[in-house]
A and B are shown apart, each in its own frame.
Chain A
Amino acid sequence: MTTAPIETATPIIELRNVSRWYGNVVAVNDISFSLGPGVTGLLGPNGAGKSTLLHMMSGLLRPSAGAVRLLGRAAWGDPSIYRSIGLVPEREAVPAHLSGLEFAVLSARLQRLPNPAAAAARAIETVDLVDAQDRAIGTYSKGMRQRAKIAAALVHEPSVLLLDEPFNGMDPRQRLHMIELLRTMAAEGRTILFSSHILEEVERLAQNVLVIHAGRLAASGDFREIRRLMTDRLHMFTVRSSDDRALGAALVGNVAVFGVELADGLMTVRSSDFAAFTRAVPRIARDLGVTLFELRPTDESLESVFGYLVGR
């Protein structure tokens, strides 16, 4: 699937022909894209290369080929970039002997912040971990550990936030809180890239996605736009009107319509041309004197798009 990459006038994160291999195994294969402020979801099946990509972006892994640049500087080999980056790794390992607050204070000190205690307290409050802040992280649930990691990544208020499966282990309330937090941070002008295998969350949080499959960039951009560019896949719509049978019969004659099905009082239409079909339906309904109640694409969800892209 070829789509226009996410390009921005002033890229905060920029990858140019980036590959990474381990011996004979290619983990990431010739990937290029640019990201600006806002939230972008990084999607892909397990082993697709998402973590490898995030590690290269966070300077923890050297690309075998190509260039990874953050804020105009090479990500690899320059620790000073970490003043502007916050990283939440997927790996669960955290210093179990520290409390959540101590972990955040340590991060603030290592960032050389002028008031580490105040910065840490703010970060802990932001991730809603105040009640458990003095307990050792070793006693935390998976979701609490995740929030402690996020607090440590946020403590210096970075302009770029890279999160590898940040919602892992969080309960629904915590997930909502985290989604809201990331949205707010994106609205403040930060660049946020997060990987997730939970498509519903990606759909809730990010319209822009990067889809990685078998180490390659399968698609990038607004996932609804990506779906519309998939001309080899028929578009599915549900249509509700005052006379479904009459409208259905008329639609069959339209060149953009591939098939019409009436079942259980619901009309489903398959079309090969999204734009032509959505323009034609209201006109046909008006000509027939039929009132159109609903015209809804049913396979524009991120799940459908992802399924088509990775061939599931």
Chain B
Amino acid sequence: MIWTIARAAERGLLGRRRTILMVAVAAIPVLIAAIVRASAETSDAVPLTAGLLDGLVVRTVLPLVALVLGTAVLGSDLEDGTAVYVLVKPIERWRIVVATYLVAALPTAGLMGLVTLAAGLVVGGGRGAEGVAVAFAAGVAVGSLVYVAVFLALSVVTGRALIVGLGYVLLWEGLLGGLLEGTAVLSIRQYVLAIAKALAGRDGDAITVTFTFGGAVAIALSALLLVGAMALGTRRLARFEVRGD
């Protein structure tokens, strides 16, 4: 059943123009990495790679792609009414949430993981920054899974998921994250950086993190947030109401 729903959602999501646009957006860090490599010194490859992946991928492209795909995969169908044809079937709501989640989360994690790795290798490959690139790619892949879960749940909770999600990324993770260290406990960006830092070993010193509990806790909190978001999405979908005249 999950497969059937996922196939239908996949055709709806991945056939759309916005997905092509997201792939183009995701490719930007690789292009910028190439420009940076051409102009940067060889000696500072690790901090340079870490800085580029943090600023360009983790802070910008990752949340943007996850936000667009995560809110669209189920949210756009709920918004335009086509979700009714799935909702009026004898299907447990968790199956709908899981199926649509997989359709958005797996491509996002795959795409962003690859883009991060490629950008990291372009800027720091052959200069000793390969480990940082791999560590960031793993962190970004985990972050993609969590971001998409949160944004999908948001799209079931509110019709303004894009704005609320953008608020979370810009205000909570961005503005408040810079002012109040405690916000890191509920910051996917900080989980990604903490995981990358833990995996990068000695090179992890080049990664600045305000989340101080370590990579293992970051993974545990990521899993908790993901499961919580899925549970919330399921619960709200079970109570989803279609308005009449």
Point out residues on A near B: beta carbons under 8 Å: 20, 22, 27, 46-55, 58-62, 77, 79-83, 85, 87, 89, 91, 93-95, 97-98, 103, 106-107, 109-112, 152
Contacts and interface: CB of A to CB of B under 8 A. Distances in A.
Interface in B191-245: 238-239, 241-245
B126 interface: no
Contacts of A49: 244-245
Contacts of A103: 85
B178 interface: no
Contact of B81 (A53, A80, A89): A89
Contacts of B5: 110
A60 B84 contact: yes
A58 B1 contact: no
B80 interface: yes
B201 to A, nearest CB: 47
Contact of B244 (A54, A81, A98, A106): A54
15 contacts: A48-B245, A50-B244, A55-B243, A61-B243, A62-B241, A79-B90, A87-B84, A87-B88, A91-B81, A94-B85, A106-B85, A110-B1, A110-B86, A111-B89, A152-B85
Which of B82, B85, B87, B92: most chain A Cβ within 10 A? B85
A83 B91 CA distance: 10
Interface string B63-92: 000000000000000001110111111111
A89 B4 CA distance: 22
B88 A60 contact: yes
B85 A51 contact: no
Given A91-B81, A97-B15, A58 B88 contact: yes
Contacts of A55: 241-244
Closest 10 interchain pairs by CB? A52-B244, A51-B244, A93-B81, A110-B89, A60-B242, A51-B245, A91-B81, A82-B90, A109-B4, A55-B244
Contacts of A46: 245
A93 B245 contact: no
Interface of B: 1, 4-5, 8, 11-12, 15, 80-82, 84-93, 238-239, 241-245
A106 B8 CA distance: 8
Given A22-B243, A54-B244, 8 more contacts: A27-B245, A55-B241, A77-B238, A79-B92, A93-B82, A94-B82, A97-B12, A112-B1
Nearest to B9: A95
B242 A106 contact: no
Nearest to B245: A51
A166 to B, nearest CB: 15
Contacts of A47: 245
A95 B4 contact: no
Nearest to A109: B4
Given A93-B82, A94-B82, A106-B8, A112 B90 contact: yes
A60 B245 CA distance: 13
A50 to B, nearest CB: 6
A152 B1 CA distance: 17
Given A95-B82, A97-B11, A106-B8, A61 B90 contact: no
B245 A98 contact: no
B6 to A, nearest CB: 12
Contact of B12 (A77, A95, A152): A95
A50 B245 contact: yes
Nearest to A78: B90
A82 B89 contact: yes
Contacts of B85: 94-95, 103, 106-107, 152
Contacts of B4: 106, 109-110
Which of A53, A62, A85, A110: most chain B Cβ within 10 A? A110
Contacts of B93: 79
Contact of A60 (B11, B12, B15, B241): B241
A34 to B, nearest CB: 21
A109 B144 CA distance: 30
Contacts of A50: 244-245
Nearest to A116: B4
B76 to A, nearest CB: 10
B210 to A, nearest CB: 42
A94 B82 CA distance: 5
Given A48-B245, A51-B245, A79-B90, A89 B1 contact: no
B87 A60 contact: yes
Contacts of A80: 90
A260 B209 CA distance: 94
A22 B241 CA distance: 12
